[in-house]
Amino acid sequence: MTISKPIISEVTYSDNFTAELLSNIGENKNAQKLLLDYPTVYIIRDKDNNAQYTVYVGETTNIKRRTGQHLYDDVSKRTDWQQLATAQQGRMFVIGHDHFNKSLTLDIENQLMMYLLSVDSIKQLNNRRTNAQNEYYTADELQPIMSKIWRGLHHYDSKLFPVESLIRDSALFKASPFHKLTAEQIAAKQLIYQKIEHALAQSKTGQLIFVEGEAGSGKTVLLSNLFYELNAELLNQPVTAKIKPHSYLLINHDQQLTVYKQIAKKLGLERLDIDIVSKPTRFINRHAAAEKVDVILVDEAHLLWTQGKQSYRGKNQLADLLQLAKVVVVVFDRHQMLTTEEYWDKQELRNMEIEASTTGNLVQLKDQQRISAEQPTIDWIRKLVFDRKITPIPADKKGYQLKIAPDAQTVYQKISQHATEKENAAAGLSRILATFDWKYVNKTAPADDDYWRVKAGDWSLPWNLQLPQTKAQKRANRGLAWAEQPQTIHEAGSTYTIQGFDLNFAGVIIGPSVKYRAGHVIFDPEASENKKATRKRTMKNGEKKTVADELLQNELNVLLTRGVHGLFIYAVDPQLQAALLAAAGSQHLLS
């Protein structure tokens, strides 16, 4: 079925709105019907002297009445409308389509919020809700219509509405609270809400809600949605108002921290005197147990420290956070613990899970949201990493490309081919990744080379975050995750720059720390340069213990689960490479 183009009209946001809209429509009867009689979606924006935008997104069944409410009624109630009412460069985009109904316009409004949140030039995005709808008659038309609307808006203002591929590749888009939740995520969210409400009503403290899920199970989207909706009351208050957030969001991952801070700032959740998003150590050092906050949300809780480090003088960050809040919600994946300071003793972790389960506070996410492959393909990756067995690579009817390369150069060439602007627009970014088996000293150049490099035979590529950038490139890349920066197609990413991010295709160079001996995959700490994983861990009883086998396994797991549509592998170890090639046969050989 052919889907028609939307009708878009740009007018000045002012008292003269109706006359200007009618003038734009002219004698076009179809436009008159779609913009004045049908449900519409609209965007109102103001632009400051630094070309930064404040934007409001809405939907209505009567655009004339609704705009009048914004102009005359809302200014007396809400600070965001007071600002827009005095805008010197206020513009309004009214959008209509012949298939619009209430559910579809709510979904389009939600999609526009999700897209616009990712736009660098937007400093503030105003709305009061997440609107993702369940199934309805025209639900299958949502994405095609949304893409047509976005392309139409791009012609009006390419800075405010950049090309769609840039939006969908951004880390802000992927962590947006406006994603439509799956049935499993909705059930988890409802349970977490009930548990929080009960704990607060009963004045309970130190309640732990433990959300488990493997890479790609939708943990971050669920947490982002919870964070936004738990703090909805902040949206009606100016940032100068002395009001405590209902929940705080904490994370130890630098790049994800930047993403969440941008989300909080753009959505008006950031308070002038409060770090609503921060690292756990900063939160712990700035809060007292005597004045407990309501809710703490911890993303990537497997990155919490379980021993003292730097400015953190405690012994376990999670234990300290439970002393500071009435409820702590953590999302956790034991298979993404990467360093000794994050390591949990298996029995201690199991005890925590049992306690959460006993109180009904254990939430498990099992649906795979990232890898677009059939279950046998996902199982093949898990068997390699966790069962340490290599079996024949299965055919995949979904089209997921799991291929073994004859050499590293072939992986790089293939990833470069998938990094074209056309393919990025269709499916997202592709990048080279590697196990941390080649030396890299941050902010220090090697004595015998221009960069620290990943090497395989005659082929090499600089490790991540090293290629020089011009001032203009630095400005353009500010706030972007490693994979989002254009020059990184010529670098190799590590677990520390790619964790929490997904790619279209991932090319993984498996270094010498992963070997194949006597029919099994083994991990060799002596061949790894990842000191954070291979150094000994001091346990509670004072024993120095090596946990590298588990942490190096987790490192490989993180790398092999980044690709949404494909994974290309080359192994440096000859026996491992031979086993992989045998498993690939002719059908899964990368050429």
pLDDT of residue 521: 98
Is a pLDDT exceeding 90 seen at residue 443? Answer: no
Mapping DSSP to helix (H, G, I), strand (E, B) and coil, where does residue 407 land? Answer: coil
Alpha-carbon separation of residue 504 from 51, 132, 367, 419, 436 (angstroms): 32, 24, 19, 9, 22
Task: Mark out the alpha helices in 310-451 (DSSP H runs).
Answer: 317-322, 346-358, 375-382, 408-417, 421-427
Residue 129 has a pLDDT of 66
Q: How many alpha carbons lie under 13 Å from residue 567 in its C-beta half-sphere?
A: 29
Average pLDDT over residues 422-435: 79
Domains, the chain, in order of start with CATH, read: 7-162 (no CATH), 183-365 (3.40.50.300), 375-584 (3.40.50.300)
Does pLDDT of 239 surpass 60?
Answer: no
pLDDT at site 505:
95
pLDDT tens column, 240-298: 556 778 899 999 988 889 899 999 999 988 876 688 999 999 999 999 888 899 999 99
Residue 269 has a pLDDT of 86
229 pLDDT above the threshold of 60 = yes
pLDDT reading at 576 higher than 70: yes
Instruction: Give me the pLDDT at residue 523, please.
Output: 98
**Mean pLDDT on 103-124:** 93
| pLDDT of residue 317 exceeding 70 | yes
pLDDT digits (tens, 9 = 90+) for 514-548: 999 999 999 999 999 999 999 999 887 788 999 99
Among 522, 553, 548, 518, which Cα is nearest to 533's?
548
Please give the pLDDT value at position 123: 92
pLDDT surpasses 90 at 36: yes
- The yes-or-no verdict on residue 423 having pLDDT over 80 is no
- 406: Cβ contacts below 8 Å, ≥ 6 apart: 570, 581, 589, 590, 591
Structure tokens that stand for 269 in this block? 């959740």
**Model confidence over 333-349: pLDDT tens digits?**
999 999 999 998 888 88
Percentage, residues of the chain above pLDDT 70 = 95
**Per-residue pLDDT at 238:** 58
Q: Give 17's strand partners.
A: none
CB 30 within 8 A of CB 2: no
Instruction: Identify the pLDDT of residue 370.
Output: 85
Q: What is the mean pLDDT of residues 49-68?
A: 92
Q: What's the rounded mean pLDDT across residues 350-368?
A: 91
Amino acid 72: pLDDT: 87
pLDDT digits (tens, 9 = 90+) for 501-522: 889 999 999 999 999 999 999 9
In tens, the pLDDT along 398-420 reads: 999 999 999 999 999 999 999 87
Distance CA 225, CA 397 (A): 32
Residue 110 contacts residue 178 (beta carbons within 8 Å): yes
- Between CA 309 and CA 63 the distance in angstroms is 56
Residues 6+ apart with CB under 8 A from 567: 381, 400, 401, 402, 403, 505, 506, 508, 560
Cα atoms found within 13 Å of the Cα of residue 360, Cβ hemisphere only: 9
Q: Which two tokens stand for residue 387?
A: 């069962």
pLDDT digits (tens, 9 = 90+) for 468-506: 999 999 988 887 889 989 999 999 999 999 988 889 999
Output the six-digit token pair for 400: 């997921």
pLDDT at 219: 92
